[in-house]
């Protein structure tokens, strides 16, 4: 998993609206949050919290994209159902999850399976990780990211 100062490779991902491209040099910072599944309670709360703060992030020249393995159609339904304002990327083949090391072995009720570890990365205009949050706890996480962004801006 990326740590502070690590360089993030360029990538592109299909959203429910268009293609999102993280380039070597951007004109904005980027928050990338990985979530396990659209329309589940924790993922919905996280996406809604980021959406409620989207204007504050924009004032700090920061884009937000949430990424899961849901299809673009599922992401579109998720966005519309909850009036989400952030981009939602569809990583069906898991390549972006692999780059960020968020595709991990999990365990529930003693059963092991592979899934997305809820994680967030704040990335600079030069594609360097400014801060990472592995194993995110959802309540107030978006606000925590915003407060960190304010400190470094």
Q: Known catalytic residues?
A: 43
pLDDT per residue of the chain (153 residues) written in tens, 0 to 9: 899 999 999 999 999 778 898 987 788 999 999 999 999 999 999 999 999 999 999 999 999 999 999 999 999 999 999 999 999 999 999 999 999 999 999 998 999 999 999 999 999 999 999 999 999 999 999 999 999 999 998
Q: Which helix (H) or strand (E) holds 39?
A: none
Report pLDDT for 25.
76
Q: Residue 81: what pLDDT?
A: 97
- Domains delineated in the chain: 11-143 (3.40.30.10)
Model pLDDT, residue 149: 97
Give the strand order in the sheet containing 87-90: 19-22, 11-15, 87-90, 62-68, 29-34, 119-123, 129-133
Q: CB of 17 within 8 A of CB of 48?
A: no
**Could you tell me the pTM of the whole model?**
0.94
Q: Which helix (H) or strand (E) holds 133?
A: strand 129-133
**pLDDT value of residue 39:** 95
């Amino acid at each position: 998993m990326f740590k502070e100062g690590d360089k993030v490779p360029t990538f592109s991902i299909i959203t429910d609206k268009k293609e999102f491209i993280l380039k070597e040099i951007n004109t904005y910072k980027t928050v990338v949050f990985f979530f396990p599944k659209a329309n589940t309670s924790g993922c919905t709360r996280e996406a809604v919290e980021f959406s409620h703060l989207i204007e504050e992030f924009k004032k700090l020249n920061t884009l937000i994209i949430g990424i899961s393995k849901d299809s673009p159609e599922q992401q579109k339904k998720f966005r519309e159902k909850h009036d989400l304002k952030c981009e939602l990327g569809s990583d069906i083949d898991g390549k972006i999850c692999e780059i960020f090391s968020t595709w991990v072995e999990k365990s529930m009720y003693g059963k092991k399976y592979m899934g997305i570890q809820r994680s967030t990365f704040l990335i600079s205009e030069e594609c360097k990780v400014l801060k990472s949050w592995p194993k995110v706890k959802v309540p107030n996480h978006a606000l925590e990211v915003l407060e960190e962004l304010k400190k470094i801006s």
